[in-house]
Amino acid sequence: MTTVTLRDAKATFSQLVDEAMGGEFVTITRHGKPIAAIVSLEAAEEARKALDRTKPNFGEFLLSYPGGLDLDIERTASPMRDADL
């Protein structure tokens, strides 16, 4: 992983793009903090797919557990206990 300042990135942009095309991740910093990255198009598309993937809600996650449908759980009807905080 290459890390360069914004000033150096401006001066050597073509070289950084070539590195990204070769599979290298290039991090650009401003005042010592990472602010952007240059990656290959393939890596960017994979990241976009991962972000667009729908995530199941908690109930769907629990129902997806193998054997989770065979559980016979009864809920207690008693009120909640008091807690001293």
pLDDT, residue 58, reads 87
Tell me if 32 sits within 8 A of 7, measured CB to CB.
Answer: no
Instruction: Supply 54's token pair.
Output: 């729908």
Amino acid (one-letter) located at 11:
A
pLDDT tens for the chain, 85 residues long, are: 899 999 999 999 999 999 999 999 999 999 999 999 999 999 999 999 999 888 778 888 877 777 655 666 677 777 777 777 7
* The model's pTM: 0.60
- The topology (CATH level 3) of 2-55 is YefM-like fold (3.40.1620)
Helix, strand counts (H, E) of the chain: 4, 3
Domain boundaries, the chain: 2-55
21-30 confidence digits (pLDDT tens): 999 999 999 9
Q: By C-alpha distance, which of 23, 58, 62 is closest to 42?
A: 23
pLDDT, residue 69, reads 58
Burial 6-27 (b: 16+ CB within 10 A, else e): eeebeeeeeebeebbeeeeebe
